[in-house]
């Protein structure tokens, strides 16, 4: 049973599903932030974690990081790097939320929209779940990757 469970939990198909899901989540999140950069800057500033002079830069760049890493997950390009980047962002976001919860700041998550629900422990759990999915994809994903095409060519060269 444990083996079956382990097999299911480590199955590449599950990793593929997590990968596509996480890619979709980040692409969706990034689309709004890219279109409403000023609002996203306000959201960043509301967390009161980064210095004020870096807020706008982060607001301009971070959505593109999310978009590119999300697209890389979806198409299967440099999956491990993209998954690690996303996992890293999830760690940062989770820490930011935890800090915010600790400070008891009355702000919303701002993950997908400026007017999201206020930050809560549910948000933390959700982010932790997403972090797990990203790490799962990092460890077990090997299906439908663009890298595999290149990988196959490398193997042929090696042979």
Nearest Cα neighbor of 69 from 88, 54, 45 is 88
Binding mask 10-39 for another protein (x = CB under 8 A): ------------------------x-xxxx
Give how far Cα 10 sits from Cα of 16, 17, 20, 124, 145, Å. Answer: 11, 12, 16, 24, 17
Is the separation of the CB atoms in 101 and 121 below 8 Å? yes
Q: Does 119 bind another protein (CB under 8 A)?
A: no
| Minimum CB–partner distance for residue 145 and another protein (Å) | 10
Rounded CA separation 105/24 (Å): 29
Taking the complex as a whole, the smallest distance from the CB of residue 60 to another protein amounts, in Å, to 4
Pick the binder of another protein from 11, 31, 75, 80 (CB under 8 A): 80
Q: Which is nearer to another protein, 55 or 133 (CB)?
A: 55
Binding site for another protein (CB under 8 A): 34, 36-39, 41-42, 44-53, 55-57, 59-65, 67-69, 72, 78, 80-85, 105-107, 138, 147, 150-151, 154-155, 157-158
């Amino acid at each position: 049973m444990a083996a079956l469970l382990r097999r299911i939990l480590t199955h590449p198909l599950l990793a593929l599903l997590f990968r596509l899901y996480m890619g979709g989540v980040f692409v969706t999140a990034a689309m709004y932030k890219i279109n409403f950069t000023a609002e996203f800057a306000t959201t960043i500033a509301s967390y009161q974690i980064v210095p004020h002079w870096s807020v706008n830069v982060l607001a301009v760049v971070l959505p593109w990081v999310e978009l590119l890493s999300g697209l890389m997950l979806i198409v299967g390009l440099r999956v491990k790097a993209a998954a690690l980047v996303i996992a890293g962002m999830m760690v940062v976001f989770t820490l930011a939320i935890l800090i915010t919860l600790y400070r008891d700041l009355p702000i919303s998550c701002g993950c997908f929209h400026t007017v999201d629900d206020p930050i809560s422990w549910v948000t933390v759990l959700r982010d932790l779940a997403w972090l797990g999915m990203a790490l799962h994809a990092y460890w077990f994903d090997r299906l439908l990757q663009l890298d595999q095409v290149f990988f196959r060519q490398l193997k042929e060269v090696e042979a």
